[in-house]
């Protein structure tokens, strides 16, 4: 079978990467698209007590088992199924259960640091960086973590100041230099997604 076409979508926390990824999948046809979240590959640290696990710097590249993601992309590109990990963001532990993922026409990986790792970038056919204002990113991160990850607003804001913004400046923003396409996502989602959808469609047709 033809190998999957791989798209990596990076950008700051709250930039709207997951929303753009979902919009791309809807436009191309969900049956053709496999979505992978870099967040699912957070390292499991069972040796740490709950307080120490919660205090980790989750925005540093070392917090992610990117080498596992790279290995699984190689398997998908070779036509094999993989067992995608699952992460519990409330407990800061990797779950025992995994998700079986089969190769699709299009594999889309989204995450803060997707473009910061050279080995991962080498597996991508299209590298995308999503931008949004700090105000928008903060608002979206706060809403997501409180609603979906069992966090208090105070803890989210403290993490933003302690690690999220410093790591954004150190690792996320510099990775923009590796992007083939930069998408601004401060306005309507459909408008932001349009150039991404058009670029992917053109590349798939050309291939």
CATH of the domain at 117: 3.40.50.300
Report the number of distinct structural domains present in the chain.
1
d(CA 79, CA 52): 39
Residue found by looking up tokens 């259960």 in the block: 97
In this predicted structure, what is the pLDDT of residue 145? Answer: 82
Per-10-residue mean pLDDT, the chain, length 207: 86 91 95 96 95 92 97 96 95 95 96 97 97 88 84 87 91 97 90 95 88
| pLDDT, tens digit, 9 for 90 and up, residues 59-116 | 999 999 999 999 999 999 999 999 999 999 889 999 999 999 999 999 999 999 999 9
CA distance 182 to 116: 15
Domain holding 73, by residue range, is: 5-206
**Residue 14: left if φ>0, alpha if ψ -120 to 50, beta else—which one?**
left
């Amino acid at each position: 079978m033809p190998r999957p076409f791989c798209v990596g979508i990076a950008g700051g926390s709250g930039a709207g990467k997951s929303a753009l990824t979902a919009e791309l999948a809807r436009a191309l046809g969900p049956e053709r698209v496999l979505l992978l979240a870099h967040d699912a590959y957070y390292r499991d640290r069972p040796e740490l007590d709950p307080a120490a696990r919660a205090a980790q710097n989750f925005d540093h590249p070392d917090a992610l088992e990117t080498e596992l993601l790279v290995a699984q992309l190689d398997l998908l590109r070779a036509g094999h199924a993989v067992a995608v990990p699952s992460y519990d963001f409330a407990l800061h532990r990797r779950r025992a259960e995994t998700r079986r993922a089969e190769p699709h026409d299009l594999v889309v990986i989204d995450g803060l640091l997707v473009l910061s790792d050279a080995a991962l970038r080498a597996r991508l056919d299209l590298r995308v960086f999503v931008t949004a204002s700090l105000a928008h990113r903060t608002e979206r991160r706060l809403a997501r973590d409180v609603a979906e990850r069992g966090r208090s607003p105070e803890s989210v804001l403290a993490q933003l100041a302690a690690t999220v913004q410093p790591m954004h400046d150190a690792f996320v923003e510099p990775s923009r230099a590796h992007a083939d396409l930069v998408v601004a996502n401060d306005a309507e989602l459909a408008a932001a997604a349009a150039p991404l959808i058009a670029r992917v469609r053109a590349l798939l047709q050309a291939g």
